Chains A and B, each alone.
Chain A
Amino acid sequence: MTQTTLPPVEKTQPKSAPHGTISDRSRAERKLGWMLAGPAFLVMLAVTAYPIAQAAYDSLFRYRLTDPDNRSFNGLSNYWVILSDNLWWTALGVTMLITVITVLVELVLGFALAMVMAKMLSSIRPVVRAAILIPYAVITVVSAFAWQFAFDIDTGFVNSWFAWIPGVSADTDWFGGQGTSLLVICLAEIWKTTPFISLLLLAGLAQVPEVLQEAAKVDGASWWQRLWKVTLPNMKAAIMVALLFRTLDAFRVFDSIFIMTNGANNTESVSFLAYRQTISRLEIGLGSAVSVLLFLCVVLLAGLFIKGFKVDLASARGEG
């Protein structure tokens, strides 16, 4: 059985002027367009392009805020210091681990939630929809505290509730080691962001043509076959958008780590490393270099997604 998708429907966008000659009207429209959208565009550039350029410049200097007189140009040696240090590679490893685990679990769980919500009785749908927005809307710091308190050896209830699981007892210190700390961090992240993914996937589900489902049913396809051959291929765009956004978002993980472990036991993420260098240690040069490296990682990831998976965000928005 081959994948079944409907041919894309050609979008007809009204064109205000025929190609070739630029009329006065379209020139005026062009000018008005930029006059209206220009300020927003400039502000976006000012709050991101300028800082990252400044960071790239700062990263070339040996510069500590507590010792400003000794600021000196030292080329790429900050990058060399970072890339030859285990701290960076540990942080990168932790970040990638958290990203992969949370995004995979969120996709599967989010899809399950979306499937349930799609079929839900209309009488209870508003209640569930409101509930599902709550994890999304709650402050990450609050969610991190809730999960930390729950697993904490003193204030938590997890140890006494789950003592029947081998390895869990009254004195299990979840934040005493790297593995268990990361597990709780991942749980908190998954709880908070799965609802958002499920809403995106629910919107995608709604776009799967009912005709195809019915046709597959008539042809005797099982539920599982319909899921893999009809549903998933038809919502590929929604899945890819959710995947792209969440991956890049997860890669910036910071809040939960700050609250739960403060980077102890090798749970530092790349964002946390940059924060600690700049804000805590006042090493502007080194911190900037970490920031630039993190930025490059994100650009690389986004590039891989867009080229590798052929995510066409513009067409996903009907912009193509």
Chain B
Amino acid sequence: MSRREKTWWIVAGVAILIYCLFPIAWIVSVSLKAPSDLTNGQFLPTNSTLVNYREILTGGSKDLFLPALRNSFGICLIATAISCLLAMFAAYAIARLDFPGKKLILSTALVVAIFPVISIVTPLFNVWRQIGLYDTWPGLIIPYLSLTLPISIWTMSAFFREIPWEMEQAAQVDGATTWQAFRKVIVPLAAPGVFTTAIIAFFIAWNDFIYGISLTSTDAARPVPAALGLFSGASQFENPTGPIAAAAVIVTIPVVVLVLLFQRRIVAGLTNGAVKG
């Protein structure tokens, strides 16, 4: 590759980096601005300050933000775990066994994946109030399955399809017991797929907003995106922009860490599930 061509590709790469990171850099910058500095009309703060972070972590808004953070982690992790468990069995059956209904299950997952969330919220809002699930963790975990389960089934069955299952028999021929063959051969082969699926399902649950604002009313179950959307500052005279930006940065940190650690797997998971030749 010539020198000129090389420079050109680097320029293109840098352009993509700026495209992807610019809004993130901006929200970090807003979160570091003091209230008086917010309207400076500039990208960067005049003087960086952590006052907004103090406000949401230890100050007047901590009762709004910290419970929401706990709810988000708890609800999303449980919903992810349940859907991965269910999807694991389903994906094993789809990848490994020959039975009529495979196609039905995959198409159902597809239909559920494109289902408008608001059409689920409307009836649940009423039913949850009647049976006492409104504003509780299970009241969000159950509808979150409609977000996480279909993508888990698709992604995991795409991963499982690539596992060389014959190796299980090969191990047994070599004298391993069924349990040993499963534990020593199948689990290590299947684990990356399960793990990647869990990350993607977690992203989707973490991103939810509609269920969060519609099916909760207090900090008993309200997740972070909903708390952010309804956040109006500790008092009505305060501009909530700075604290919102600080909270936005904090909830972005976990996803950025996951992306940096597992980028290769996440890309494989996202594209395997949707496009496969």
Residues of A within 8 A of B (CB): 15-17, 26, 29-30, 32-34, 36-37, 39-41, 43-45, 47-48, 51-52, 54-55, 58, 65, 113, 116-117, 119-121, 124, 126-143, 145-147, 149-150, 152, 154-157, 159-161, 170, 191, 195-196, 199-200, 202-204, 207, 237-238, 241-242, 245, 248-249, 251-252, 254-255, 258-259, 271, 274-275, 278-279, 284, 287-288, 290-292, 294-295, 298, 302, 313-314, 316-319
Contact = CB atoms under 8 A, between A and B. Distances in A.
Contacts of A136: 203, 270
Contacts, number: 317
A40 B90 contact: yes
- Chain B interface main SS type: helix
A255 B229 CA distance: 9
- Chain A interface main SS type: helix
Interface in B67-124: 86-87, 89-90, 92-94, 97-112, 114-124
Contact of B23 (A146, A170, A291): A146
Contact of B116 (A29, A142, A295): A295
A202 B271 contact: yes
B49 to A, nearest CB: 15
B26 A199 contact: no
B275 A238 contact: yes
B50 interface: no
A128 B213 CA distance: 34
Contact of A146 (B19, B27, B102, B108): B27
B119 A274 contact: yes
B267 A133 contact: yes
Contacts of A52: 115, 119-120, 123
Contacts of A135: 20, 23
A163 B16 CA distance: 25
Nearest to B273: A317
B55 to A, nearest CB: 16
B256 interface: yes
